Amino acid sequence: MRKYKPIRMSATIFSNDSRVIFDDQAYVELNNLLANHRYSKLFLLVDQNTHQYCLRVFLGKLDKVHEFEIIEIPAGEAHKQIETCTQVWSAISELGGDRKSLLINLGGGVVTDLGGFVAATYMRGIEFINIPTSLLSMVDASVGGKTGVDLGALKNQVGVFTEPLMVLIDIEYLNSLPANELRSGLAEMLKHGLIRDKIYWDRLSEMDKLEPSALQELIYRSVEIKNQVIKEDPKESGLRKILNFGHTLGHAIESYFLEQPDKTTLLHGEAIAIGMVMESYLSVKLTGFPEETLEQIKAVFANYYPYQEISSKELDSIIELMRFDKKNNSGKVNFALLQDIAKPIWDINADNELINKALEYYKK
Ligand SMILES: NC(=O)c1ccc[n+]([C@@H]2O[C@H](COP(=O)([O-])OP(=O)(O)OC[C@H]3O[C@@H](n4cnc5c(N)ncnc54)[C@H](O)[C@@H]3O)[C@@H](O)[C@H]2O)c1
């Protein structure tokens, strides 16, 4: 295995109006904020798993006992819905939350997306802090200011751009994260390599084990890459679209699996892994992406993610779902593709016949 130069880390990455702070420094800042705060109430949003596994870790890092009102939601994407927001808004309201309250979201992407949206809309906006506890939420959902919920099976259909006061990243939370969830987060990291940094992609693809303790500087690099992209294009009018690589198909596949009772629910990373293989195929056909690199990408993803059976009839429904994707307009499906690793290109149309061929390639 090749030796890679260590990634240069500092404690904080500045991201639009918010800051992503790592490890001990993050708790120093949080402790200072809580010590000096003038919040009327402190709310802590968890799901049932982060309540069980992460809350104790979090409270143990605080140097003073604070009175938190803990609000728990059920775990999982199926609960990232407006009904859950209603319950959280009501709980905050009944517990006396006002405009001077603070909400801390301790959880994976579901908790940070939903909690961010609840905070942005409760009394027209209260301050909030994200403490991502899954790998996916650390490397992806933690930066960029996107919050929101699904509308039925339609992913992230309702939401707002809003920035947390700070994002606190501590890999200790990953110790209790199930292995398949860890792999799900890795998919976004692999995407960051593919769209922006070939050395990072090589490093991730050559990793022999996925262990939380080995991930610290890699998480940092992913946050850095995502942050560079969103800083240049915060509202997704151009460059930011490269973050959707693998997601146009991936989101539709995720939604389709979510609404089929006979299908297992696919994790976000598992769905976008399929999306990335298929969209790499589209890249070969539409943008001159090298065929041998496509084979390498397919092999790397096959190594981490179980094969999922998708029939061509099911693909018709998936293509139908892509029409609802927010990134599409005038009924056309737009893809962010690659001309090579770290050479993305966006707003590329693919017809249904080619998408079918991409599925055939995935299945081969
Ligand atoms: N806002 C954004 O920019 C952005 C980016 C990417 C993904 N997302 C969203 O993030 C969501 C996916 O995030 P996710 O994969 O974190 O999902 P998730 O929040 O459902 O977490 C996955 C599972 O892991 C559990 N979990 C989380 N941390 C844990 C820990 N430390 N120990 C034990 N269990 C733990 C959760 O309870 C859940 O069961 C999707 O809804 C996706 O749309 C948002």
Mean pLDDT in residue range 49-71: 96
Model pLDDT, residue 30 = 96
The band of 58, judged by pLDDT with boundaries at 50, 70 and 90, is very high
Mean pLDDT in residue range 150-159: 90
Q: Is the CB of 229 under 6 A from ligand 1?
A: no
**Å from CA of 136 to ligand 1 middle:** 6
Average pLDDT, the chain: 93
Residue 329 has pLDDT above 70, yes or no: no
Residues 6+ apart with CB under 8 A from 116: 105, 128, 130, 147, 148, 162, 164
Least confident of 139-143, 161-165, 215-219, 239-243: 139-143
| Ligand 1 closest atom vs CA 135 | 16
Q: Residue 12: helix, strand or coil by DSSP?
A: strand
Mean pLDDT in residue range 269-274: 96
Residue 332 has pLDDT above 80, yes or no: no
What the block records as the tokens of 189 is 């990291």
| Ligand 1 closest atom vs CA 134 | 28
In tens, the pLDDT along 20-33 reads 999 999 999 999 99
Q: Is the CB of 254 under 6 A from ligand 1?
A: no
| pTM of the complete model | 0.93
**Å from CA of 268 to ligand 1 middle:** 8
Query: Could you give the CA distance from residue 299 to residue 297 in angstroms, rounded to a whole number?
Result: 5
Q: Which helix (H) or strand (E) holds 358?
A: helix 352-363
Q: Angle 139-141-147 (CA atoms, 0-180°, nearest 5)?
A: 170
**Å from CA of 354 to ligand 1 middle:** 32
Q: Among residues of the chain, what percentage have pLDDT more than 90?
A: 80
**Which of 48, 49, 54, 186, when mutated, tests ligand 1's pocket best, judged by the most ligand atoms within 8 Å of its CB?**
49
- β-sheet bridge partners, residue 21: 12, 168
Residue 1 has pLDDT above 90, yes or no: no
The band of 190, judged by pLDDT with boundaries at 50, 70 and 90, is very high
From residue 16, give the alpha-carbon distance in Å to each of 22, 162, 212, 248, 298: 17, 10, 28, 25, 34
**Å from CA of 162 to ligand 1 middle:** 18
Model pLDDT, residue 167 = 96
209 vs 48, residue with greater confidence? 48
**Which of 51, 73, 110, when mutated, tests ligand 1's pocket best, judged by the most ligand atoms within 8 Å of its CB?**
110
Q: Is the CB of 272 under 6 A from ligand 1?
A: no
Residue of 64, 55, 5 whose CA lies nearest to 33: 64
